[in-house]
């Protein structure tokens, strides 16, 4: 029998990865969809008058196997893909899109939902039930329930096409990332630290190349190269290769796909009665309107750009003094900013990395969670994995009771997309009095161990691990009744608060003393080094802020307009980014064509949320800092915010935690852009 269709007879009902084969996915999805359609038919065919229990709750519980199969499939597609899975994904996405549309456009089902919504006052609903009803009703309205005739069919066509285009976009970016290799001889390695050279030699060895060093566009390879290589010509080659991914008129070019996605999203929004895609998206966000996002970005830019321009001028002078370079290019920025940072603070990644052995950083993150929330992580070897690199844990609460399963997948490989993310294989919910606990996963791309050294993280990688771990805690601590309101199922511009606030602990000596010990000597990270780390935290912050604002502006430029008049991706992006570009433009580079967050992931018209959530996290951590970073009272309040998930409006949750609305100036203070 297909393992995806039976109950999982595994520890904590985790996916039986060893039994699941590629050929199981499509049959499982088809059978699960057929079963779900029967469940929907039972709702619409009920002779009972529509009420919250027999309509809204029944719909919430329908299609459980569909969701489970889809979660496993798409998680593997991101973390352990291959040609077969990518081929399957086209039919898989089409089937899911049709299934979703069949529900959202089911007139009899919506009539029952509408009846419950109209009679909601008489239902005497709890706050959580009222939120589920509101979200269910709004979801149907936002996905075409009121459309008729040709408009309904056009919506179906658009959703089908968007699903396929999004997959194609991601495949092209992954293919372009994997296709590039910079093969070097020893003479080409000037300036690179030994650890970076050793990793590149390992990569070459894996590819069957001896006495060679191979660098790729995977972040653990790309970032150190452009940061340390003295060979300006090779840095230029790497930066141009990275920037031209899927923007080169080749078979994996995304230019046409980008324009198609933008136009289809616009058409879809107009069909549903919205001015544009951004208006549609932001109806379900804290920001509410594109104008509010644009005002927010403008306010940040006014504070950050003068500082960023001063930083670039200073760096240009420094590059001139060091190497006679008087026009700073994009392939120079990381290199010279790292050198200037070393000179100013006496600190760099190579100095810090010995203190950040991966296993110790993981242990540190777990200890921080224990101090804040009383939870513990126990490694388990009886939970099946989708790849040998994955580490599996059981999470227990302060009483020792089971809380969650946690998967950790840290190293890059050809079948894994770039970047870092948190996801889940099962969300938390309560059903028939049973609390069904979640299965949470983080996926990263960190530097692998070499033949002579363990995996030693850069400080940015430490921040990334704590960031994704913050998302994980949002899922692990979930305590809702309904899966669709549980854990990270919150407004998208609120979802980054739990992750970004966790990064703040990485700058605190009290936290670093837990895990930052030299991997050879065992010496704790010196207080002077921590102080330099904190001092350097705002180094080039103006530039970094403007860069983020530029990406958010580009996102809104694709989604807050009618894109019909956009003919060419390159010139359009150049025009949009003009106000946030601080270095000379590279005509062969393009961000849109590899901007997976907005054209493959869930951040379309939402990339601003990183900076929006930074306001929340800066303000939230000020509270922790004032009271003590492990203060049980503050931690208890934040635990409540995490556990609530999407059961209440985020503004209410934040006010309950903080006792006031967030102060936008908290971010500017932390960034050193205004006086503290």
The separation between the first and the last C-alpha atoms of the chain, rounded to the nearest angstrom, is 64
Q: How far is Cα 334 from Cα 238, in angstroms, rounded to an integer?
A: 12
The torsion defined by the Cα of 445, 450, 455 and 456, in degrees rounded to 10, comes to -110
468 catalytic? Reply is: yes
Q: How far is Cα 502 from Cα 410, in angstroms, rounded to an integer?
A: 18
Q: How far is Cα 246 from Cα 599, in angstroms, rounded to an integer?
A: 13
Beta carbons of 9 and 78 less than 8 angstroms apart: no
Beta carbons of 459 and 345 less than 8 angstroms apart: no
Q: How far is Cα 658 from Cα 634, in angstroms, rounded to an integer?
A: 9
Q: How far is Cα 287 from Cα 664, in angstroms, rounded to an integer?
A: 13
* Mutual angle of helices 541-559 and 609-627, in 10-degree steps: 140
Half-sphere exposure of 95 (CA within 13 A, CB side): 21
Q: How far is Cα 83 from Cα 261, in angstroms, rounded to an integer?
A: 23
Beta bridge partners of 184: 213
Query: What's 408-471 look like in SS3?
Result: EECCCCCCCCCCCEEEEEECCEEECCEEECCEEEEECCCCCCCCCCCCECCHHHHHHHHHHHHH
Beta carbons of 33 and 99 less than 8 angstroms apart: yes
Beta carbons of 380 and 395 less than 8 angstroms apart: no
Q: How far is Cα 207 from Cα 592, in angstroms, rounded to an integer?
A: 31
Beta carbons of 437 and 480 less than 8 angstroms apart: no
Chain center to CA of 34:
32
Chain center to CA of 330:
25
Q: How far is Cα 334 from Cα 235, in angstroms, rounded to an integer?
A: 10
> Which listed residue (201, 267, 468, 573) is catalytic?
468
Q: How far is Cα 584 from Cα 587, in angstroms, rounded to an integer?
A: 10
Beta carbons of 472 and 119 less than 8 angstroms apart: no
Give the strand pairing for 213-215 and 376-379.
unpaired
Beta bridge partners of 213: 184
Q: How far is Cα 490 from Cα 483, in angstroms, rounded to an integer?
A: 11
Q: How far is Cα 212 from Cα 525, in angstroms, rounded to an integer?
A: 35
- How many other CB atoms sit within 10 Å of the CB of residue 483? 23
What DSSP string describes 327-383?
A: S--HHHHHHHHHHHHHHHHS--HHHHGGG-BHHHHHHHHHHHHHHHH--EEEE-SSS
- Least Cα distance to 653 among 610, 628, 616, 627 occurs for 616
Residues 6+ apart with CB under 8 A from 663: 615, 619
Q: How far is Cα 188 from Cα 338, in angstroms, rounded to an integer?
A: 20
Q: Is 155 helix (H, G, I), strand (E, B) or coil?
A: helix
Catalytic site residues? 468
């Amino acid at each position: 029998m297909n393992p995806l269709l039976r109950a999982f007879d595994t520890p904590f009902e985790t996916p039986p990865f060893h039994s699941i084969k590629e050929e199981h996915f499509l049959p499982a999805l088809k059978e699960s969809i057929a079963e779900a359609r029967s469940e929907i038919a039972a709702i619409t065919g009920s002779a009972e008058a529509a009420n919250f229990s027999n309509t809204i709750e029944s719909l919430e519980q329908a299609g459980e196997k569909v969701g489970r199969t889809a979660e496993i499939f798409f998680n593997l597609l991101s973390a352990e893909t291959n040609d077969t899975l990518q081929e399957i994904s086209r039919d898989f996405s089409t089937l899911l899109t049709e299934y979703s549309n069949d529900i959202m456009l089911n007139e009899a089902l919506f009539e029952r939902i509408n009846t419950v919504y109209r009679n909601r006052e008489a239902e005497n609903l709890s706050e959580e039930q009222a939120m589920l009803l509101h979200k269910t009703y709004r979801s149907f309205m936002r996905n075409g329930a009121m459309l008729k005739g040709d408009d309904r069919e056009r919506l179906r066509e658009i959703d089908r096409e968007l699903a396929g285009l999004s997959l194609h976009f991601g495949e092209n970016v992954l293919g372009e990332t994997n296709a590039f290799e910079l093969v070097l001889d020893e003479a080409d390695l000037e300036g690179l630290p030994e650890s970076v050279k050793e990793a590149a030699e390992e990569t070459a060895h894996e590819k069957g190349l001896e006495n060679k060093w191979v660098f790729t566009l995977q972040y653990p390879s790309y970032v150190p190269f452009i940061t340390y290589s003295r060979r300006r010509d090779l840095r230029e080659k790497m930066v141009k290769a990275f920037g031209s991914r899927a923007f080169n008129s080749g078979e994996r070019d995304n230019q046409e796909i980008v324009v198609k996605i933008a136009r289809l999203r616009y058409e879809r929004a107009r069909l549903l009665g919205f001015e544009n895609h951004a208006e549609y998206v932001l109806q379900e966000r804290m920001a509410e309107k594109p104008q509010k996002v644009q005002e927010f970005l403008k306010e940040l830019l006014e504070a950050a750009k003068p500082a960023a321009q001063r930083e670039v001028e200073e760096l240009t002078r420094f590059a001139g003094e060091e190497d006679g370079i008087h026009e700073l290019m994009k392939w120079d920025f990381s290199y010279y900013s790292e050198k200037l940072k070393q000179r100013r603070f006496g600190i760099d990644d190579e100095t810090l990395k010995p203190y950040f052995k991966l296993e110790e950083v993981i242990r540190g993150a777990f200890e921080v969670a224990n101090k804040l929330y009383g939870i513990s992580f126990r490694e388990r070897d009886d939970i099946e994995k989708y790849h040998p690199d994955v580490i599996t844990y059981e999470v227990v609460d302060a009483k020792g009771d089971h809380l969650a399963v946690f998967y950790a997948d840290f190293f890059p490989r050809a079948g894994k997309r770039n970047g870092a993310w948190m996801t889940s294989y099962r969300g938390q919910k309560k059903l028939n009095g049973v609390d069904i606990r979640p299965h949470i996963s983080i996926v990263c791309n960190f530097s692998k161990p070499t033949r002579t050294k363990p995996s030693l993280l850069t400080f940015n990688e430490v921040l990334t691990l704590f960031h994704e771990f913050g998302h994980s805690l949002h899922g692990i601590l979930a305590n809702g009744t309904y899966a669709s309101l549980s854990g990270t199922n919150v407004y998208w511009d609120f979802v980054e608060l739990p992750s970004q606030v966790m990064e703040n602990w990485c700058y605190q000596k009290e936290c670093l003393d837990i895990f930052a010990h030299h991997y050879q000597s065992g010496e704790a990270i010196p207080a002077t080094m921590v102080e330099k780390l904190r001092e350097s935290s705002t180094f080039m912050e103006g530039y970094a802020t403007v860069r983020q604002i530029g990406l958010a502006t580009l996102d809104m430029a694709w989604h807050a307009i009618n894109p019909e008049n956009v003919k060419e991706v390159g010139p359009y992006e150049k025009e949009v980014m003009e106000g946030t570009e601080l270095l000379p433009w590279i005509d062969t580079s393009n961000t849109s064509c590899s901007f997976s967050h907005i054209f493959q992931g869930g951040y379309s018209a939402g990339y601003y949320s990183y900076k929006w959530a930074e306001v929340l996290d800066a303000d939230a951590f000020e509270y922790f800092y004032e009271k003590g970073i492990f203060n049980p009272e503050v931690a208890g309040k934040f635990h409540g915010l995490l556990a609530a998930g999407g059961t209440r409006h985020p503004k209410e949750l934040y006010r309950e935690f903080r006792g006031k609305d967030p102060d936008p100036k908290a971010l500017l203070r932390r960034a050193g852009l205004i006086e503290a």
